[in-house]
Every structure is written in structure tokens, then in C-alpha cells.
Structure 1
């Protein structure tokens, strides 16, 4: 038997249950992974609350790292004992074992430990598509990144800085501002006491920014649009404060022929070839030291509810992981 987190109804962190299950054998094209570390992400909360629908009862989590325990029929790329990591579903990573399609699993370089992989796979691949594909940031370019001290934000600050860009990051207090600066942010804006558009205008001498990366959603939507230069791109990739609703396309015209996109990892890592390319790019910056995954919080598997509560209340910095 093995321990796993499940939920039978949507709601608050209290709906998460620790249950004993018998790990099934992997089917054709699947591998069974003995997790050594598990990633915690906002998308997990979206499923738990019902913002993203799912069939119930359900497991939770799509990111982790560990050792291959068994392989299913037709799997030739992995064998028992391989060190691996994964960032996409199906849900069920919150457990001692996870069954994953081999197509969603990547071999983990020896130089990258399990905790780094679990804290950095989904977030790191997210940053990869955001700043290397959705809008390829360039040297000496000013960009705005919300939640700069979070798991995704801290990676983005480092990676964009390594590319020569100037990151303006939003934060909620001085400690998070210091953390963002240590990770390469050029300037920070405390959105609890400053107007984000006004500060961006000051910092850019009125030019504003060509791109805004926004994982907050509803609360920052209008400010994000106001920070864009003409023909700028609004990249909305999360809903931490709730989904953006009632969008008036005329606002894009008023702002100067603005663009908006709502990307996802699944939309970019949609083939094995693209997934491997993105992983290689991420592993390269991790191995070079240009990007470090900061594990700000570690929780035991049975503390998954408390971990999600801390993440939702913005009490975390860097990445948060669960340890089975």
C-alpha cells in the first residue's frame, strides 16, 4: 500500500484526504514512479476549488521527481531505476507513487537533484515558453512580471536577467522585494502601496513595456493593460486572484492596438519533440547556474492542505514542495 492525497468534493484545503491505495501496474506506454519530491502549483488549487473541473474523486498534482519503479508494455526509453521528472498530468503526483505516460516523463541529469526538479519542472518550463516563445525577451528590454518573488517569478527574474533583460517585478512587501532583487529583478514595485502603471511610467521614462506577464488574473488585469506600450503583449497565464471576466476588446484598441494571449504549458509542450527541446533549455540554465530553484518551503505529504493554504495566502517565496 502507498499513501496518496485525494479529494471527493471541491472546496477548501480541508477537502484533501490522505488515503492508502494499492499502486496499480503501469499500462501500455506508462511508467510507475516512486516519488522523491513533489511540486506544488496554483493549478492544483484551481482543481481543488472547482475553478478547473475534474472528475471526482480525484488525485491531485502533476509535477514531481523520483525513480522509475516499473515500466509498461511498449516503453523503451525508460527502465527500472532511472532518475526522472515530470511536469504534466494526469493528476496524481501528490502521493508516494505516480503513474505517468512515458511521453510526459523526462530523464533527469545527474547534476539536478530531485527537490530541484520537483520545485522547478512545471515552473521552469512555464518560464521557458513565456520568455523564450510566447514573447522572446531581448537584451536591454524592460519587461513587467507580476508576483516576482513566487516560484515562477523567481525563475523568470533569473532567466530574463541572464538574457540581458530588465525585469520590473511586482511584490507585496520588502522581504519579497529583496528576494526578487537577489534573483535578478532590476526594479520592484510594491503593489500594496504603489500604483503599478505610474511606477512603470516613471521607470521607463514614459515608454511603458512591450510585454506584461500576469499570473494574478482578475485583480491586476486593468493595471497590466495600462503598463503596455502601443502594440504591446499582455500574457495572462494564471488566475491567482480569480479568472479575468467581462473583457472589453475595445480596451485593447484604446491602449494602442494591444495584443492578449492566454497560453499554457500544454499548448507549447504539445509534442514529444517540443517537450524535449523545452526541457533541454531548462536543464541547460540549471546546470550552468544561471538559474537556481529556490525551495522556500517544504511540507510533508500529509500537510498538503496547509501547503496549499500558504500558497493561496501568498505566504510563500520561491518554490514549495511536498516530501512523501
Structure 2
């Protein structure tokens, strides 16, 4: 599949934003994070900013962005539409939580409820995003048991590392949160390796023979269906060289997992402000690594329509 940067950025930014929002909604709502004005303002601003930026960037991949609103009407059958509805609905409790936690300094009553609802909305939205890809049967690399849990794990991982960087920046870091960040990063690393191993061993059940129903012999094209590149070849017939795949996988592991784990492990033994600087570097490296991971997620996916073009 063609890895358009708008969609790559969308899935990375919203995943991190919703992960951060879910943690803020739960921990801030119950008073586990102090209702400090500047901490709350920057934290909520970063979470909602990442979500808004990601959602806006996703429209760049549409042929007619001004008609994007029509997608909301297909929520009964489309995971893309359900994602749009869930993302908009989540802004309501998130906004109320931000007002109560940041502006009013409250961590009780309706603020707790708003925070928990915002967290639930964030998780639901990430699930709908994952299901957009997991539900596509023509793409075997996405239509697997690894896709949806992967979206949830990476959202929690990037969100927790961002939250740790924010808390460390305000000198209110927590060793418990640091340990959670490390565990989630290791879990994400393991899950990504397992996903790659699964995809590399995939045997695509559909072939030119099964697609045409001609079981005898080997079906092949005598002539190309088109004399030049068309939309399907550009969007669904994208190919990446194996050597580039291996290189980008190493970069993903280094930036998204290995480097953040190393930096966060060092943070345990260092005082503020060095711990804060390393925590910010870990968050930045992980976000960059996840951009590469998302690019590979699209580039390595193979749509069965490519069989029509002899690929």
C-alpha cells in the first residue's frame, strides 16, 4: 500500500494523543496527578493538539476533503465512519475534564466522571482506527490478530512515555510510571517483532488461479492490463525493496524501542533536570521511530488486487 505521509502522521499522532488523553483522564481525574494549572494546560494541550493535528492531516489523503463530513453518516457499516464519530464525541468529555481539572483545579465529582469518559472515548477511538485496517480481508498483513492489539499497545506506550516526559519536566516524575513506560516499550517491541515474523511467514491464500477459478496449470497474463501507472497501482501496488525493509526495521527498533528503553532506564538513577532532558529525548525518539514503523506498516502491506497486474 502507498504510505501517504498524511495517514502515517495521522495514525502516529492520534495514537500518542489518545494514549496520553486516556492516562490523563484516569490519573488526573482521581487525583493521582496534581491539578497544577500549567501542567494540566500543557498536558491537555499536547494530547488534544496531537489528536486534532492527526485528524486534520488525515483529510489530506482524501480526493475531496470538503466532503469528509459525509463519512460520519456511514457509522452502521464503516469503521472509518465509526472512528470519525468516536473522535468527535470524545472531545466533549475531554473538554469538560480539561475545564474542571485545569481551570477549576478539581479532581472530584463530575470532573472524575468526565475524565473517565474521556479515557473510554480515547480507547474506543483507537480501537475503531485499528479495526479500519484489521477488517480489510484483501490485505492479509492487516487482517490478522496482531493489528488491533498493536494499535492499543502502541497508543498506551507512546502516551505513557509522553506523560512521563511532562511529569519529569515539572519535577513530579514517578518511578511507577517510569516502570510502566519501560514495560510497555518492551511489550511493544516484542509485539512488533512477532507481527513482522507473522507477516514474513504469511502464505497468501489467493492466487491468480483461485481468483479466476482455473485450477489446472498456471494462470499468467499475456499482456499488461494498462500501458501506464493507474490509481490502483499507485495506491495498492506499492512495493518496497527487501534491503530497504530490513534497514527501516532496524531504524524502527532503535528509535521506537531500544533507545527509549535505554534512556528511561538511565532516568531511574539520575536527578532532575537531567532526568527530565533524557525523558523528553526518549519521547521524541519514540515518536520519530513510530513514524517509521507506521510507514512500514503501509509499505509492506500487499493488496490482492495486485494479482490482476501480475504482481
Q: TM-score range by the shorter chain?
A: under 0.3
More strand by share: 1
Which has the higher relative contact order, 1 or 2, with Cα contacts under 8 A spaced 6 or more apart? 2
Scaled by the length of structure 1, the TM-score of the pair is 0.24
More helix by share: 2
Greater Rg by CA: 2
